[in-house]
């Protein structure tokens, strides 16, 4: 018999909660080391606004000029984006990115 997999929108070490930055945010439930791949935040689909579907991980991350994570295009075709920690993140700290909704052209 095949085991059923349970869908988990966030890793167990993250949770959604009220943010001092804006609305709701993603928070560390435990200390998270630097250079950790926390999962997929965006999946490419040209039918959606800004060409990407946001996962729960991507939908609640707020902007900061001093971000503790970065967005990584994980494959050559840019079919999905992931988030990676830039430094150790302390338990209770909000997960943040420095982001924009568009790229400036030269």
**Structure tokens, 68:** 């503790």
Cβ 28 vs Cβ 13: under 8 Å: yes
Cβ-proximal residues to 13 (8 Å cutoff; 6+ apart), any chain: 28, 29, 30, 32
Across the range 46-70, mean pLDDT stands at: 90
Over residues 1-49, the pLDDT tens digits come to 566 666 678 999 999 999 999 999 999 999 999 999 999 888 889 998 8
So what's the pLDDT on residue 42?
Answer: 87
**Which domains, from first to last, does the chain contain?**
14-97 (2.170.270.10)
Q: Band the pLDDT of 67: cuts 50, 70, 90.
A: very high
């Amino acid at each position: 018999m095949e085991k059923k997999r349970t869908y988990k929108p966030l890793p167990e070490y993250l949770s959604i909660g009220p943010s001092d930055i804006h609305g709701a945010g993603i928070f560390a439930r435990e200390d998270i080391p630097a250079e950790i791949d926390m999962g997929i935040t965006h999946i490419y689909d040209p039918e959606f606004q800004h060409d990407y579907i946001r996962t729960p991980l991507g939908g609640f991350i707020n902007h900061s000029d001093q971000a503790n994570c970065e967005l990584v295009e994980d494959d050559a075709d840019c079919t999905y984006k992931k988030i990676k920690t830039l430094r150790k993140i302390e338990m209770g700290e909000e997960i943040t990115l420095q982001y924009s909704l568009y790229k400036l052209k030269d």
